[in-house]
Structure 1
Amino acid sequence: MTVGCGSHVARIIDRRGAVVANADVLLTVEWSRVLDDISTARIVVQPDGDCCAQLAGVRSWRHKLVICRDGRPCWEGPILTPEWNADGSVESAAADAPAWLDRRVPHANRRFTGEDLAAIAEWLIDDGFAPDDPGQSVEIVAPTRIRGDREYEADLGQTGDTRPVEAAAPPVREITVLADLDEVMDSVKCSCNAEHHADQGPGPGLHQGH
C-alpha cells in the first residue's frame, strides 16, 4: 500500500530539549521504521540566514534530529554525521533512539538468577537510558520463556552490546522500544525531496520483539 508523504519539517534538538537549528529549507528528507532493528534518517538542508551559523554548531551524538510530518513528530534519534557538501548544503544522518544504547554502559552491578530473558533486556534498556532519558517507554510484547542466569558489572561494556561476566547477554531488542511520538506512523519508509514525495509499504512503526 502506498500513501501520500505529507509535509515535512525537521529540527535539530539538544539532548536537554533546546532547539539548536530549524531546517527551514529542506532539499531531502528520508526516514524509516525497521522491524527488529535500528532505523535511520537523513536530511539535506540549504542553509539560509542565521541557520548557517546554527548548523555549524551541530555535533554528533550530542544533538538529535526530529522530523515531523503534517505537524506531528514521526521520527527522532541522535545525529551521527553532520557534513557540509561542496554546494553549501548540509547533510545530517541519524539513527533511531535505541542507538544511544550502544554509547551507554551498565550503571549498576546486577545479578539475575532464573530470570526470563525479556525481563533482563528490559532492565538493561531502563538502566541504559536512566541518566539521560531520550523519552522512551519499554513494553514487553511477550516473555521469551527462556530463563537464565546473567550478571552485569557497572561501567563494563556497552548496554546495546553487553556481555555478562559468565554468559552471553540477551539481545536488548527482545522487547519493544516505542519512541515518545504523538502518532505511530503507518508507513515504514518515507523518502521525500523537492520533486518527489512517496511512502512505501505498510508497517507497524515500531521495533517489535519476538
Structure 2
Amino acid sequence: MLKIFTLLILCLWISQGEAHRKVYFEPLNECEDTGTYQLCQDFRDIRNLIDANTLVYYISYGYYKDKEFRKAMEFIKTDQFQSVSQQIADSSVYQKLLKRFSDAGVSTETISSISNIFNCLMVSIPEYGDESEITELDMPKIIVGRSMQDVAKNLVSAIPPSKLRHLIRRKMHESREFANFCRVLRSSGCRYDVKRLLSSISTRYPINVLKRNNIDLQKLLQYAYKIFDYKE
C-alpha cells in the first residue's frame, strides 16, 4: 500500500509542447468512470500544487543528469517491475490494507495494485533537442537529489503548505470518500499494517528488488505521510 502513496509524491505527468518548457498535465481519460477513479483525480490535484517550472527542473535534470534517478525510472518500465509490484499487491498484508479502505467506503480501483497507481500518476519524461538545454534549466537555489526518494523529498518540500492544507480541508469537506481515505490512512491500524508489509517475509524479495533499483519504499512512505497528515 505504501507504494501507492509514495509514488503519488513523485510520479507526475509531464508533457512538452513545441516550446520545451511549456508544461501541461494529462487529464483523466474521458472514458473513465469518474466515480471509480475519483481517488486518482484527488491524487493528481495534490500533485498539481507543485510549481510547473520546479517540477520540470527536478524530473528533467534528475532523469538526464543523475544515473541513480534514471535507473529507478528505467526500472519502472520493465516487466520485472510489473512482476515485483504484483507480488506486493497479492500479499495478504496488502490485501488487508485494501480491505480497510473498502470497508470504509473507499473505492479501491485506483489503489488495487501498484500498476494502477503508476497508470494514474506515471511520469512522461520531457524530450529535449539538445542535452545543453537541461543545463540551461538553471535554478541555483535547488539541490537535485541522488535518488528517487531524494527527488520525492524535494518535490514534497516544493508544495506550498498553506495551499496543501486548504486543498485537503476542501476535499475532506466535499468528498466523503476522500475523507474516509484520509481517516483510514492516518489510523494506527493502517500504519501498523504498513509496517508489517515492509517486514513481511512474503514481500521481502520484491521490496529488496525495488530498493536495489533505487526505489526505497520505506523512505518514500514518510513523504507520503507528510502530505496526508495535514489536518483539516
State if a TM-score over 0.5 links the two structures: no
TM-score by length of 2: 0.23
Q: Which has the higher strand share?
A: 1
Larger Rg: 1
TM-score, reference length from structure 1: 0.25
Q: Which has the higher contact order (CA 8 A, sep 6+)?
A: 2
